[in-house]
Amino acid sequence: MNDDRLWISAKQAAGALGVSVPTLYAYVSRKLIRSRSVQGSRRRRYWKADIDRLSDEQPAGEQSNVALGLINETKITLLTEQGLYYRGRNVVGLAETESFEAVASLLWEADVRAIFTEQVPAVPPSYAKLKRSLGDLTVAEQAMALLPMIERANPRLYDLSKAGIARAGADLTRWYAAIMVGASGPSSAPLHEFIVTSLRAPPGVADVVRRLLILAADHEFDPTTFAVRAVANAGNTPCYAVLTGLIVSGGQRLQAGRAGAASRLLEEIVGSSDPRDSIVTRFRNGESLPGFSLPKNKNWDPRAEAMMRALEASLGDDAEFKRLRSATDTALDIAGLRPDFILPATFVGRRLGLKGQELIVASLGRIAGWIAHAMEQYHAHELIRPRANYTGPLPG
């Protein structure tokens, strides 16, 4: 990855930290900031992410977060203003050329041929009966009920070696896909093909699903990742790491937890004879536009941009997508708002017939990232026991 926007000069780094250049050099010598030489010069440039991290931290003596190893270091995903990178590779580029299985294996540092094999995990004898009894629940709720039983029927899911966690990742993504589409068990077919075939999706959707799974796989240290790493820190299995991610992702403070509002707006847009009215009316009434935002630093989320391009290429003549495009063009023209990643992700779920649960396809992709973070946390650190910074009344 060669992106000079990720590196800044000594003067810029010192200014961002509010310190002198000699103090900056001291940070470098203490390995708190990474630097690299400038070819043909004695000058050096400094890793902007390290500068941002230090500038956000509390002054020395006030830093009480002993859990830094739990939340502050990763080799998995780099999130920048310019883009998202999985182990140094641009995620939009990966979505152009790779299978979801290959990208999941990259995140898990595994050989795709060794973990996504023709062998599928065992189906528990009582699976079909229990699955039928859960018909009124959402896919995520069904998974929460079924995965512990599936784990017991597949003892290799207890293997916490790196290879074992990677194999568990393959098994769990296949199982989640099976639960999603209502299948009797997991399949060894490529996941995007299994999904669109099982759901009898319209033509052109398969490649869009593949891209969505990849683009949704990880987003650095969001709250779901933090929760998953906390569970892995205690030595829980990949199955319970996934369950934790599913539980936390439904939180009302998270974008996914507010998916209902975006879904309702999308329903209004695609069902309207003039989708521009849905946007204009909300602006006129001073209402927010769920699923839209003003790009930060003029940079549109590259995942959302990539998904909109993919939908245009695959479903450009689709009547519902044309209405969506008309609405997004109107929001951009009126207020400079662009769709968040959640909006095209919700549209894909809708085209698959997953009304009311449109984001479950994205959550399948997200499992790959949760497994990667669970593996990294478990193997990179001993048990971390954070201590609280007590701010209540003193005794006596």
Domains in the chain with CATH codes: 1-54 (1.10.1660.10), 68-294+306-383 (1.10.580.10)
Calculate mean pLDDT across residues 114-123.
96
Question: What CA–CA distances, in Å, run from 139 to 123, 175, 231, 373?
Answer: 18, 11, 22, 23
What pLDDT band is residue 62 in, cutting at 50, 70 and 90? very low
Q: 160: which residues sit within 8 A by CB, 6+ positions away?
A: 235, 237, 378
Percentage above 90 pLDDT, the chain: 68
Percentage above 70 pLDDT, the chain: 91
What is the C-alpha separation between 5 and 2, in angstroms, rounded? 9
Phi, psi of 100 (to 5 degrees): -60, -40
Per-residue pLDDT tens over the stretch 203-229: 889 999 999 999 999 998 899 999 999
| DSSP, residue by residue, 106-167 | HHHT--HHHHS-S--PPPPTTHHHHHHHTTTS-HHHHHHHHHHHHHHH-GGGG--SHHHHHH
Res 28 pLDDT > 80: yes
**Higher-scoring residue by pLDDT: 185, 261:** 185
What is the C-alpha separation between 137 and 103, in angstroms, rounded? 30
pLDDT at position 256 is 67
- pTM score, two decimals? 0.83
Q: Of 191, 140, 101, whose CA–CA distance to 358 is shortest?
A: 140
What pLDDT band is residue 389 in, cutting at 50, 70 and 90? low
Which range has the top average pLDDT, 20-34, 102-116, 252-266? 102-116
When the pLDDT of each residue in the chain is averaged and rounded to a whole number, the result is 90
What pLDDT band is residue 50 in, cutting at 50, 70 and 90? confident
Q: Of 341, 342, 344, 362, whose CA–CA distance to 214 is shortest?
A: 362
Phi, psi of 20 (to 5 degrees): -80, 165
Per-residue pLDDT tens over the stretch 219-256: 988 999 999 999 999 999 999 999 999 999 988 888 66
- Least confident range from 47-51, 211-215, 310-314: namely 47-51
- CB-based contact 204:315 (threshold 8 Å): yes
